[in-house]
Amino acid sequence: MPKESFVFCCFNNNFKITPHTFEGWMRILKSVEGSVLWLLEDNPLVGIYLRKEALNKGIHPNRLVFAKRIMLSEHLARHRAADLFIDTLPYNAHTTASDALWAGLPVLTLIGESFASRVAASLLNAIELPELITTTQVQYEATAIELATNPVKLKAIKDKLARNKLTTALFNTPCFTKHIEAAYSKMYERYQADLPPDHIYIEPRSKV
């Protein structure tokens, strides 16, 4: 990884990278001098074709760096080499967003209309980082550029993520277990009472 470079990353599967998303990433790289984009390499051809496309967009191919698949523990550890995870649309990061947040890496997402395009936003809400959820492509790119060029703001977000990691709902497995058990109990109670299916609301509890 080039020294002194701001490192954007996205470890989503390559098939999630649409032309629209990639074009947005190239505009971000153009706006943040010396920055690099770190991507997962599912297939050696991915690096070849994406670097060629980057060049077509006026970005030097060396500014795209590719990561091989490795053991999960090593993969989580290497998140420390990145500065900001930038998500894909319409198919968001799911497990990859959880991995990044657990590793202390902020995830910037663009929320869509479908389930697959709203998962990262749900994770960010669960860890109380709604400021990393954007609603338009323009806002998404502007936020990525702002965080890359404002180290004070980025550090504040990273500090907040570190504080929230073990105090909010996202990684509170015992609390999640109690919530889902309570939901199952309500479902069964409705079934026993011969009631039709309906929405079920479980009062949230941040701690067990």
DSSP letters, 172-185, are -HHHHHHHHHHHHH
C-alpha atoms less than 13 angstroms from C-alpha of 163 in its C-beta half-sphere: 8
Q: Across residues 94-104, what is the average pLDDT?
A: 97
What's the rounded Cα separation, in Å, for the pair 137 and 32? 17
To the nearest 10 degrees (0 to 180), the angle between helices 95-102 and 119-126 is 30
pLDDT computed for residue 65 by the predictor: 96
pLDDT band of 2, cuts 50, 70, 90: confident
Report which of residues 169 and 50 the model is more confident about. Answer: 50
Contacts of 45 (CB under 8 A, 6+ apart): none
Supply the mean pLDDT for the chain: 94
* Per-residue model confidence (pLDDT) at position 176: 87
pLDDT at 208 over 60: no
* CB contact burial 104-120 (16+ within 10 A = b; e otherwise): ebbbbbbbbeeeebbbb
Tell me the pTM: 0.89
**Does position 21 have pLDDT exceeding 80, yes or no?**
yes
What pLDDT does 204 receive?
A: 72
The first and second tokens of residue 207, run together, are 């701690």
Predicted pLDDT at 206: 52
Q: Mean pLDDT, to the nearest integer, of 11-20?
A: 96
pLDDT of residue 54: 97
Task: Give the 3-state secondary structure of residue 86.
Answer: strand
Distance CA 56, CA 68 (A): 24
pLDDT digits (tens, 9 = 90+) for 146-155: 999 999 999 9
Could you give the CA distance from residue 136 to residue 142 in angstroms, rounded to a whole number? 10
Q: Report the alpha-carbon angle 13-16-18, nearest 5.
A: 140
Helix axes 44-56, 19-31, angle to 10 degrees: 60
Domains and their CATH numbers in the chain: 7-164 (3.40.50.2000), 172-208 (no CATH)
Average pLDDT over residues 102-113: 97
The pLDDT, as a whole number, for residue 80 is 94
Residue 205 has pLDDT above 70, yes or no: no
Q: What are phi and psi of 9, to 5 degrees?
A: -140, 160
For residue 67, the model assigns a pLDDT of: 93
Q: Is the pLDDT of residue 57 over 70?
A: yes
120 in Cβ contact with 93 (< 8 Å):
yes
Q: Percentage of residues in the chain with pLDDT exceeding 70? A: 98
